[in-house]
Amino acid sequence: MASSLEARSPFLDHHVMELAASLPSSWKIKGTSGKRILKQLARGWLPDQIIDRPKKGFGVPLSRWLRTDLRDMVHDTLTDSLARSRGYFEPAEVDRLIREHDTGQDHGPKLWALLMFELWHRMFVDDRAVSRPAARLT
């Protein structure tokens, strides 16, 4: 929640919180379905297909970013001597993932995990400052 979209602010008002806390659980949850009162209040205002649909995530164009705006950062970080010297990952395999991703195969989640692991390692194990990319994500 610290780095994502947040739409709950109105529900954090202390009056709303106190009211919600005073209601019996059976008014708020039925079986595995939560938000019972909100859904009832929304009926008539929103179509049932919106109220009753499953939860949806908010996706980002990660794979595209890794091919464009973050491409140099991924390449420079994952192929430099520090990352390779750790011995955690096979350099040829990392090179293959980057190359294939650049040419259209989707290795975005794998590359993102490798990048985040390396940056985490630099910050919390190596205790080195991690420079922030100057990339503009579009």
The token pair at 123 is 């910050």
Q: Which residues contact residue 138 at a Cβ distance below 8 angstroms, ignoring those fewer than 6 apart?
A: 69
As a whole number of angstroms, the distance between CA 20 and CA 29 comes to: 12
**In the prediction, which pLDDT does 88 show?**
96
- pLDDT class of 6 with cuts at 50, 70, 90: low
All residues at 6 or more sequence positions from 98 whose CB lies less than 8 Å from its CB, including other chains: 74, 75, 78, 79, 107, 111
User: What's the number of CA atoms in the CB half-sphere (13 Å) around residue 66?
Assistant: 28
137 confidence band (pLDDT: 50, 70, 90): low
Spatial separation of the C-alpha atoms in residues 112 and 46, rounded to whole Å: 37
Angle between helices 91-102 and 71-79 (to 10 degrees): 170
Q: Which tops the pLDDT comparison, 133 or 123?
A: 123
With tokens 């009926």, the residue in question is 43
What pLDDT is attached to residue 57? 79
Phi and psi at residue 30, in whole multiples of 5°?
A: -130, 110
pLDDT in tens, 12-63: 888 988 998 999 888 888 777 778 888 888 999 999 999 999 888 778 899 9
Q: Return the domain boundaries, the chain.
A: 9-51, 62-125
More confident site: 1 or 126: 126
pLDDT value at position 128?
72
Largest separation between any pair of C-alpha atoms in the chain? 61
The residue that leads in pLDDT, 5 or 33, is 33
Give 65-113 pLDDT, tens digit per residue.
Answer: 999 999 999 999 999 999 999 999 999 999 999 999 999 999 999 999 9
The whole-model pTM stands at: 0.61
